[in-house]
Structure 1
């Protein structure tokens, strides 16, 4: 017996913010969740699986129009023709989504109480419950029934388990309690990174089918589960994404010039393109390290951002979503701060502000006044949203010398 376990399809997720980026492959990315679902259906048919489990968040929310639902129904009809059955539970994103009449062989489990579906021909019992409302914070798994004797028991559940960074704590449960339930496999959803929580029994987050932003990096897909003699023989990750998000980290510490940093960016993006195996790569470039190239990079960041985006465009299959410049000056800041000159005075003043909560608060108020006069586009960055928080302010003050020194000292001119 074989089955696919998928979750967090987020069909027709809008991939917010693409229109802000020049050169973004918007057409490819907007259709990515649909093509990933098509890829999953293709693999279900090719592997001749017996059934498909979808552990919540099939949709990204209520539909804008019925085309989303019609597309899903059309893909399920392909599985019906192949005699592959489908079981679905709702998650927090699709708790209130519309639903069209599902094709024969596709079944959504109850949202009011745990429900058990038995496939007698396979010797399988699937237990599950969907969300009646998005903010579901009860331990749903606690009310799942005891395993059916003589059958292969599966728990289908949308949950944060014991909690995962970046994911709301919905339907929390303890891994130990899932193990104690006595099921043979737990098909979980909600966490977008693939993770195996336990192996006897298997408790698995397959991750989402398609990464939707730069925090959802790496290969995305579903789990193919093979069962022999009532036991799990294998759980394989099958990749179905059509666009790949990647963080390309570039260490500039050995770079003698900004051109050297460019070559580092080229190499890192090239590796991401090679790893993506023909998929379009959406890359976030993070450049770090104390470097001789730092001054040139911060003196004319617009130029180097353009250069990096240009070399990615030349590769054809890559697009740069964001560039984060985190390089530092090579100067000895402690030595400079001890000097009795204007630069030493500036560094001492910045350190005083950094270490004084009252001064940080004053700075936050001043920045808040400035922020109120900035265009709305400014607030589309993560840093802007936290600009008046103490930790963010302290980090800004800490980083200021790395930006100011090249301007004040002429460091790296001509680099």
Structure 2
């Protein structure tokens, strides 16, 4: 038996901060989620899999476009021609609503509803059970895994879940919760980073199929699973059209724009990479070099490079250490300022926004904010 586990296709991702790119590149980026989805479905046909699991957030928004719906319908009909079934749940981005779709999927597609249920099929002689549920709102605070049935009278049972480990906004669970069900495989979605949480049985986050911003670095893809004699093997299949990368340079006092351009060119050698460059110790640069970078003028100088320069971040250190009393005041103010609860209370309307709330709740949010503030202070301090 063979099947594919993919998640977080996010069809119709708008891609932000790309207005300085060429119109063609902007269009290619916006189409990239469709391109990688086609690769998922083509791989299914080429590998003659029995079925595909899509573990949530297939669409980027619950108000999905007609283009995205018709695209999926056509792809699913092609899969149907090859006898390949599709098992799909909706996540927090494309959560389930009554009458939310204007296009009906073909009969080889099973869409799980808001209540946990189990679909059955025969694949390569195995009686297979697939259990899952779709989100019915943006946040699901309860541990829905608790309502999943234990392993039934199946040769092989799969659980589909769009959730975060102990993430109270997204069907929180512990790995032990999943193991207690006795399933043979867990197909997870939601986290845009592939990760194998457990082997024997496999509990796998496949990650998203295409990185969508500078924080989603590295090659993205999906998993091809094969079951022989009830032993499951997992193979990662890369699918990214564009790969986001972070690279760094160290500033030098004798740097000129010409020498900096040459250094950056040497970091842009890999085709179809979107590169963010951090320049450390930017306080060493002359004022005219800093001004040119701050105005964004360098971003347009690398149109012929294989990789694409997405952003340059100037990171400032101090020319001299803080005095003892300055360090004392910084430490005290840092503790009071970078309090997550205080930040959430600053403006309930901001925290009520789904995108901002998700960003604020990321584990690295506070440390990132602290770094940005320290960088701003360092820049001003160096200029005085």
TM over 0.5: same fold?
yes
Q: Structure 1 residue 289: deviation in Å?
A: 4.0
1:194-230 per-residue CA deviation (whole Å, 9 max, x = no partner) reads 1110111100000011111111111111111111101
The answer (yes or no) to whether the contact 1:89–1:108 under 8 Å persists in 2 is yes
Match of 1:190 in 2: 190
Q: Distance in 2 between matches of 1:176 and 1:78?
A: 38
Which structure 2 residues correspond to residues 215-226 of structure 1 after superposition, within 5 A?
A: 215-226=215-226
1:350-407 per-residue CA deviation (whole Å, 9 max, x = no partner) reads 768646649x99xxxxxxxxxxxxxxxxxxxx9xx99xx88865553244333x16xx
Q: Distance in 2 between matches of 1:310 and 1:16?
A: 17
Match of 1:128 in 2: 132
Match of 1:161 in 2: 165
Give the TM-score taking structure 2 as reference length: 0.81
Change (3 A) 1:113 1:150: closer
1:76-104 per-residue CA deviation (whole Å, 9 max, x = no partner) reads 11111121111001111111463321112
Q: Distance in 1 between matches of 2:218 and 2:377?
A: 34
Q: Which runs of 5+ in 1 are unaligned?
A: 338-346, 362-381, 406-415
1:132-179 per-residue CA deviation (whole Å, 9 max, x = no partner) reads 22211111111111112451111111111234xxxx730010001211
Change (3 A) 1:92 1:208: same
SS in 2 for 1:321: strand
Root-mean-square deviation (CA), in Å?
Answer: 3.0
Q: Distance in 1 between matches of 2:77 and 2:133?
A: 24
Q: Distance in 2 between matches of 1:118 and 1:393?
A: 55
Which structure 2 residues correspond to residues 69-148 of structure 1 after superposition, within 5 A?
A: 69-96=69-96, 98-99=100-101, 100-119=103-122, 121-148=125-152
SS in 1 for 2:126: coil
Q: Structure 1 residue 123: deviation in Å?
A: 2.6
Which stretch shifts more, 1-10 or 392-401?
A: 392-401
The answer (yes or no) to whether the contact 1:57–1:91 under 8 Å persists in 2 is yes
Q: Of 310, 335, 340, which aligns to 1:321?
A: 310
SS in 1 for 2:266: helix
The answer (yes or no) to whether the contact 1:136–1:170 under 8 Å persists in 2 is yes
Q: Distance in 2 between matches of 1:239 and 1:92?
A: 24
The answer (yes or no) to whether the contact 1:32–1:242 under 8 Å persists in 2 is yes
1:222-272 per-residue CA deviation (whole Å, 9 max, x = no partner) reads 11111110111x21111112122111222346x8524554443222222xx
Change (3 A) 1:107 1:355: closer
SS in 2 for 1:72: helix
The answer (yes or no) to whether the contact 1:250–1:268 under 8 Å persists in 2 is no
Change (3 A) 1:142 1:249: same
Match of 1:400 in 2: 380
Match of 1:60 in 2: 60
Q: Distance in 2 between matches of 1:284 and 1:397?
A: 22
Q: Distance in 2 between matches of 1:87 and 1:218?
A: 27
Change (3 A) 1:390 1:123: closer
Which structure 2 residues correspond to residues 375-390 of structure 1 after superposition, within 5 A?
A: none
SS in 2 for 1:181: coil
Q: Structure 1 residue 124: deviation in Å?
A: 1.6
SS in 1 for 2:180: helix
Match of 2:299 in 1: 309
Radius of gyration: which is bigger? 1
Greater percentage in helix: 1
Q: Structure 1 residue 180: deviation in Å?
A: 2.0
Q: Distance in 1 between matches of 2:291 and 2:372?
A: 24
Q: Distance in 2 between matches of 1:128 and 1:352?
A: 53
The answer (yes or no) to whether the contact 1:184–1:231 under 8 Å persists in 2 is no
Count of matched residue positions in the alignment of Structure 1 and Structure 2:
348
The answer (yes or no) to whether the contact 2:96–2:114 under 8 Å persists in 1 is no
